[in-house]
Amino acid sequence: MDELDRILNEEQLSPPTTFVQRVMRAVMQEASTPPPIPFPWRYAFAALAAMVAILIAWFLLSPVVPSGPLARGGTDLQRTIAAIDPSLLAWCTSIGAALIGLLRYSVRFVTD
Amino acid sequence: MENDEDLAAVRAVVAGNSAAFAGIVERWQGPLFNLAYRFCRDRSQAADMAQDAFLKIFRALPSFREQSTFSTWMMSVAMNMFRSHQRRTRPNLVALDAALDLPHWGNWGLEERTSRDETVRLAVQALPEKYREAIVLFYFHEMNVDKAAQTLGIRPGTLKARLHRARGRLERNLRRRLGTEPVPEET
């Protein structure tokens, strides 16, 4: 064994005498703390799906009168798209983005 | 036998008997405290680090799958904790140029020897992380390559290579600064 081995093979130190009590106090405190509430993924996805379904139904069923050149010609899809109010689309996009943002932010505070 | 006692304690804790964790703390307080000390070289900080490691182990117990021995698993959890702790806090890097204002290896009195030994141990702290961990774990496990490699989660051959390079760096730094014969640069 060379000099470096001798130096690095240090003798064992003893932990403080109250170490076990100290650790166990922290452990018992940890054990008595209620576990974090898991994120309700099932409800979140159900709500998201319901919201998307409502939006789709609204677009398809709302009695919007198409205007402009496409109102008289083009396919059904083209007429539907032309009928969508741009401000409504902007609102829906904003709400969707905000929802996704809030979901991602809230996930930081919960465990699976 | 030790592992049986640990496994019994683990199962009891997972079943809801948190007090059973005391057996694990009693059996492993020495090794974890010493391992923590080798990373920070401060008794008070080592006690805090070891306590945090035990808490992390306690929280992680339900994920222990008994595929490895409890001690190996526990040491890996503690190592990860010590590693992230050391990355978070500024490591106690020794400024070798300033610290090694000491005489030659051969002419040391007891006080100087003690000081030199501590300087060498502090010099280990100045090594890059992978070399420092290799050295710390190797000597912590009483020079058992397999155990040290298991704790680090690397192959024994990789550990041997890291040890070789770590010792080379360490000796070169120390000899250059302590004024003994020069060691050729590693290529």
Does the pLDDT at position B184 exceed 60?
Answer: no
Lowest mean per-residue pLDDT among A93-107, B39-53, B104-118, B121-135? B104-118
Does the pLDDT at position B58 exceed 90?
Answer: yes
Higher-confidence residue: B12 or A68?
Answer: B12
Closest by CA position to B62, among listed B20, B22, B14: B14
pLDDT of res. B185: 45
In this complex, which of A12, A13, A23 lies closest to B54 when CB atoms are compared?
A23
pLDDT tens string B67-82: 888 998 999 999 999 9
B8 shares contact with chain A (CB less than 8 Å): no
Does the pLDDT at position B34 exceed 90?
Answer: yes
Assign domain B1-92 to a CATH class.
mainly alpha
Residue B187's CB is within 10 A of a number of other CB atoms, namely: 3
Lowest mean per-residue pLDDT among A102-106, B89-93, B135-139, B149-153? B89-93
Residues from chain B that touch A22, judged by Cβ atoms under 8 A, are: 47, 51
Residue B174: exposure state from Cβ atoms within 10 A (0-12, 13-18, ≥19): buried
Confidence of residue B19 (pLDDT cuts 50, 70, 90): very high
Confidence of residue B13 (pLDDT cuts 50, 70, 90): very high
B82-111 burial: b if 16+ Cβ within 10 Å, else e: beebbeeeeeeebebeeebebeeeeeeeee
A3 shares contact with chain B (CB less than 8 Å): yes
Task: Pick from B14, B33, B49 the residue to mutate for testing the A interface (most A CBs within 10 Å).
Answer: B33
Q: How many CA atoms lie within 13 A of B170 on its CB side?
A: 27
Cα dihedral angle (B160, B172, B139, B96), rounded to 10 degrees? -140
Residue of B nearest to A18 (CA): B47
pLDDT of res. A96: 83
B42-64 average pLDDT score: 94
Distance, in angstroms, between B90 CA and closest chain A CA? 22
Does the pLDDT at position B186 exceed 50?
Answer: no
pLDDT tens string A61-100: 765 555 555 555 667 777 777 777 777 777 888 888 888 8
Percent of chain B with pLDDT over 70: 80
Residue A29: φ, ψ to 5°? -65, -45
Q: B55 vs A30: CB contact, 8 Å cut-off?
A: yes
Confidence of residue B90 (pLDDT cuts 50, 70, 90): low
In this complex, which of B29, B135, B171 lies closest to A20 when CB atoms are compared?
B29
Assign domain B94-182 to a CATH class.
mainly alpha
In this complex, which of A8, A22, A26 lies closest to B139 when CB atoms are compared?
A8
Confidence of residue A23 (pLDDT cuts 50, 70, 90): very high
All CATH 1.10.10.10 domain ranges of chain B, comma separated, are 94-182
A31 shares contact with chain B (CB less than 8 Å): yes
pLDDT of res. B56: 95
A14 shares contact with chain B (CB less than 8 Å): yes
The Cα A111–Cα B22 span in angstroms is 27
B170 shares contact with chain A (CB less than 8 Å): yes
Higher-confidence residue: A34 or B90?
Answer: A34
B42 shares contact with chain A (CB less than 8 Å): no
Residues from chain A that touch B50, judged by Cβ atoms under 8 A, are: 15, 19, 23
pLDDT tens string A35-62: 777 888 888 888 888 888 888 877 777 6
All CATH 1.10.1740.10 domain ranges of chain B, comma separated, are 1-92
Does the pLDDT at position B18 exceed 70?
Answer: yes
